Amino acid sequence: MAQAIGVDIGGTGIKAGIVNLAHGTLDSDRVRVNTPVGARPADVLDTVREVLETLGVADSTLPLGVAFPAIVKRGKTLSAANIAKDWVDFEAEKFFEDGLGRHITFVNDADAAGVAESRHGAARDAIGLTIMTTLGTGIGSAFLHDGVLVPNTELGHLHRDGESIERWTAYSAMERENLSWEAWSARLQEFYSHVEFLFSPDLFVVGGGVSKHPEKFLPLLDLKTPIVAAVHRNASGIIGAASLAAD
């Protein structure tokens, strides 16, 4: 049965699993280790190595995909919104390939999540434009047109009052400012209405940890576009990264 390994590097945790590519499910436990303080490249590499060892795949020849919270163009990380600035203009894919002694596929985390939802989740068989957004520490986005990914869309960095809208609208803003669901949803409304006007999507998919509680905020949004919760919550980055690595 076709399998690949997915690793999802986040601001707080580094997670990994062995993915069943036909079903988009995990054939292993989901292993999680805290992201090292500061998230500098060398420390993150050590932690990824540790996670792969725990998963028992340190010497595996299965395809390996790594999802990361930054713009990733041809293996190079180009931004660092919620991570160490060392990652800006950094040959991340090569750094991990050299460090792990194997081939890897390095991709943006929201793009990975979008691919997981498109191939195996809430946007399966969706036609036209699906916009996946992940609401967490920041806001990640993925555009899929008839299932084809257009990478690095970065909607969390649309500007509002001179700063990235994710500062104001991500799930972390709700926690930081102790907002009610209603107050936070009003911010989401502004964000999604603007994105809807700009891109006329056919479907919005909402991921990130908060998609565990879709009933608290999705009904409060008034949009022309259907908006649904992601199916794969904390495994979407793992599943999508593994799928992309196997392409």
- 24 near ligand BGC, rule: CB under 6 A: no
By C-beta, is 209 or 214 nearer to ligand BGC? 209
Q: Which of 126, 166, 172, 184 binds ligand BGC (CB under 6 A)?
A: 166
- 140 near ligand BGC, rule: CB under 6 A: yes
Residues within window 70-129 making contact with ligand BGC, judged by CB under 6 A = 70-71, 79, 81-82, 108-110
**Total residues in contact with ligand BGC, by rule CB under 6 A:** 15
By C-beta, is 19 or 70 nearer to ligand BGC? 70
By C-beta, is 57 or 241 nearer to ligand BGC? 241
Rounded distance, CA 99 to CA 49, Å?
9
By C-beta, is 26 or 139 nearer to ligand BGC? 139
Rounded distance, CA 54 to CA 5, Å?
13
Cβ atoms of residues 171 and 210 within 8 Å: yes
* Least Å from the CB of residue 89 to ligand BGC: 14
By C-beta, is 47 or 141 nearer to ligand BGC? 141
Q: Which of 17, 24, 65, 69 binds ligand BGC (CB under 6 A)?
A: 69
Report in angstroms the alpha-carbon separations of 244 from 3, 66, 112, 117, 119: 12, 9, 7, 13, 11
Report in angstroms the alpha-carbon separations of 16 from 33, 99, 103, 114, 197: 9, 17, 17, 17, 36
Rounded distance, CA 112 to CA 116, Å?
6
Nearest to 160 by CA among 151, 148, 173, 143: 173
Strand pairing partners for 148? Answer: 145
Residues within window 145-164 making contact with ligand BGC, judged by CB under 6 A = 154, 156
* Least Å from the CB of residue 12 to ligand BGC: 11
Candidate ranges 87-95, 134-142, 179-187, 199-207; the one touching ligand BGC (CB under 6 A): 134-142
> Who's near 84: CB < 8 A, 6+ residues apart?
38, 39, 40, 41
* Least Å from the CB of residue 23 to ligand BGC: 25
* Least Å from the CB of residue 134 to ligand BGC: 5
By C-beta, is 225 or 236 nearer to ligand BGC? 236
Rounded distance, CA 210 to CA 204, Å?
15
Give the 3-state secondary structure of residue 19: strand
List interacting residues with ligand BGC (CB under 6 A): 69-71, 79, 81-82, 108-110, 134, 138, 140, 154, 156, 166
